[in-house]
Structure 1
Amino acid sequence: MTDSMLRIHFTARDMENIRIAQQPDPLWELVCAVCRLSSGQGPLVFGRWRRSVSERLLSEERTGFAVRFTQALVPTTGYIPDFLTPPVLGQGLSPALDRVQATPRERLLRDLRQFAEIRPVPGWVTHPGGSAGAFAASLVTALESSFRALLAPYWAHVRSAVGNDVALRSHDLLERGTGALLGGLRPWARWNAPVLEVDYPCERDLHLEGRGLLLVPSYFCWRRPTSLADPGLDPVLVYPVAKSPLDLVRARDERLERLLGRTRSAVLMDVARHSGRTTTEVAQSLGIAPPSVSYQIGVLRDGGLIISRRDGKYVLHLATALARGLLDRSGV
């Protein structure tokens, strides 16, 4: 840990209200991805991704403008306006963007003024032309285009990496309690009850005061966690998950996609990573409609790659030995 830290102060009530986001938050991932694009950090993990994205932005003028618009509000270090990352809903990109567009005018202008006090920014940031609503609409368009350019091609892997982390943290929470969960956040955080000491770029204290804490695992978060600047907002701690280089992941996934198709291969990989998945769980993990997942599972079951068995009121799907051999040969 560095000398600077964020100290998160817990009460007994806060210990009872620790939650873990069950899937990646698209706007937190986007903010972190924009930082990684600009900073050059993590060359082994993000290097090929960064070069691929940069080449695309050079060839697609409109997308390049959208990403530059977003970058103007997301520095590699320091304050990032809180309205860019509204409360985590777990419902995907569109609802999150709706929340950004619905940011109250006073909040929007206050965050922009605070941002401008710290670093030089274009005039349209500090004094957005037209109404605040029009600025928010333009921002949402830029965020959506940036997400599609930076994250959409890799989203299945981001979801998988986050899902693996959630499974580990949830196991700690269920088996050993909240102390073990918080203690397991090393090396970038240390649980010194009743305070969680977090590696952070500046000295700061956050008193939860009974509100609890939402832990948000993130693929593009790098080295140290991040949080909201305003202590009055719902407390959130975004932290990095274990990750593998995106270029290797992409190559492996593409080999399986050529064989089975994108949707079917995603369903098979999701099922194979767990010891029993319901259709609803797969649908939520991949962001695919349940009827489509049900159809793909049926095709995979007919092909001998998935078996299904009833467990109480649920039907659980599992990958067969044939499927696992196929995935091993594909390098997945």
Structure 2
Amino acid sequence: MLRIHFSDADLARTRIAAAPDPVWEIAASMHRLQSRKGRWAYAEWYRTARQQLREKKLERVLRSVLLPLYPRAAYFPDFLTPADAVGDLAMGIESIVATPPRRVLEEVAILDRTVGAPAWAGQLTRLDARKEFAGMLRAYYDAVIAPYEEQTQARIEAERAALCRGLLNGGVEGMLSGLGPMLRWRPPVLKVSYPKQAADRDLYLGGRGLTLVPSHFNWGEPVAFADPQLPPVLVYSLLHERGPSDATHGADIVDKPLITLLGRTRAAALRAASTGATTTEIARAAGVSASSASRHATALRDARLITTVRHGPTVLHTLTPAGASLLRASTGKSR
């Protein structure tokens, strides 16, 4: 459990990022590659990511360089997700390259004590090594994250719109109350469900405020910097507050208000489209035939709740901002 302590000054300085943060999405996507948890929600991305990594000849780089520095564990180095470049890939990578060697060494040492660091990680104290590493990050981002920029931006805009309703009705505290079960506002503390392997801790904002960063690739537990002296940032999952187990998915996990409005099958189809789904995946999620899933997808598209695009031979259904907002609002009603 992470407990974030707010003062009145902190509430006044709390904000929501206007765009996805590329360096955090890099980290979160690598965590997705290391876990089967929530894999149903990223099924289409897994397929295309693996294909792109293979075609771009990045599989070895991913396996031997990137994943060891971004373990899905209690800790990975803070310098890999710079606090001064939220929302800007170029600035984020420049900040990584500009990290002082002493800080790199300190954080690699923490990684080594926590889960083990690769033997070569200490070489990142050299500027040329960090520049080479930056090139790998750019290549990885271009291959597996850039194709989802438009979809991710639409979902963040829908999230911001939903939270703004809470802001208008109850101020910043009203907004914080609408963040979901992983983030529980108990004035003056925001209680954050943290990875089980991480120790409980308190973060006192001290008038600095908090930047909330919705993330497409984060699943489950939100993430904050390990170093409390860094500008406070909290990265949390978009629309993934409650999902099925790794083995199940579909109509059983959609919210009752959504079922009442759309019907069980169409509600399951909308939920399946929350992170992108083919017609076959919608059929599997809703427990119907492919032809029936296609008809339900058409109805949702006609209602402007989803949009359909073609990825090669595959037809992919994703949420529009209106669909994301509806799904987010339904989740909020069930809390």
The TM-score normalised by the length of structure 2 is 0.70
- 1:185 equivalent among 179, 185, 198: 179
Q: 1:128 aligns with which of 123, 130, 133?
A: 123
Which residue number corresponds to residue 285 of structure 2? Answer: none
Q: Deviations over 1:288-314 (max 9, x none)?
A: xxxxxxxxxxxxxxxxxxxxxxxxxxx
Amino acid at match of 1:122: P
Q: Does 1:14 align with 2:44?
A: no
User: Runs in 1 of length 4+ with deviation above 6 angstroms?
Assistant: none
Secondary structure of the corresponding residue to residue 43 of structure 2: helix
Residue 149 of structure 2 is aligned to residue 119 of structure 1:
no
Counterpart code for 2:32: R
Amino acid in the other structure paired with 1:246:
G
Q: Does residue 72 of structure 1 match 2:68?
A: yes
Matching of residue 42 in structure 1 with residue 42 in structure 2 = no
The answer as to whether partners of 2:44 and 2:278 remain within 8 angstroms in 1 is no
Identify if the C-alpha distance between structure 1 residues 117 and 22 changes in structure 2 by more than 3 Å, giving closer, same or farther.
Answer: same
Distance 1:252 1:67 in 2: 32
TM-superposed deviation, 1:248: 3.7
- Amino acid of the residue matched to residue 211 of structure 2? L
Aligned-pair CA distance for 1:91: 5.1
Instruction: Tell me what 2:202 maps to.
Output: 205
1:222 alignment partner in structure 2: 219
> Aligned pair count?
257
**1:89 aligned onto 2:104:** no
Aligned: 1:139 with 2:172: no
In structure 1, the residue corresponding to 2:42 is in which secondary structure? Answer: helix
CA distance in 2, matches of 1:48, 1:257: 12
In structure 2, the residue matched to 1:164 is 158
Gapped runs of 5+ residues in structure 1? 259-268, 275-332
Bigger mean CA offset, 39-48 vs 199-208: 39-48
Contact 1:215 1:236 in 2 (8 A): yes
Q: Give the Å deviation of 1:25.
A: 0.4
Which structure has the bigger radius of gyration? 1
How far did 1:108 drift?
1.2
Find 2:29's aligned residue among 26, 33, 52: 33
SS of 1:175's equivalent in the other structure is helix
Superposition CA RMSD, Å: 2.8
Contact kept in structure 2, 1:74 and 1:80, CA below 8 Å: yes
Q: Deviations over 1:11-58 (max 9, x none)?
A: 121111111110100011110011001112212211232133223333
Please state whether the residue corresponding to 1:14 is helix, strand or coil. helix
- Aligned partners of 2:153, 2:76: CA distance in 1, in Å? 24
Matches of 2:18 and 2:221 in 1, distance apart?
20
Separation in 1, partners of 2:42, 2:2: 26
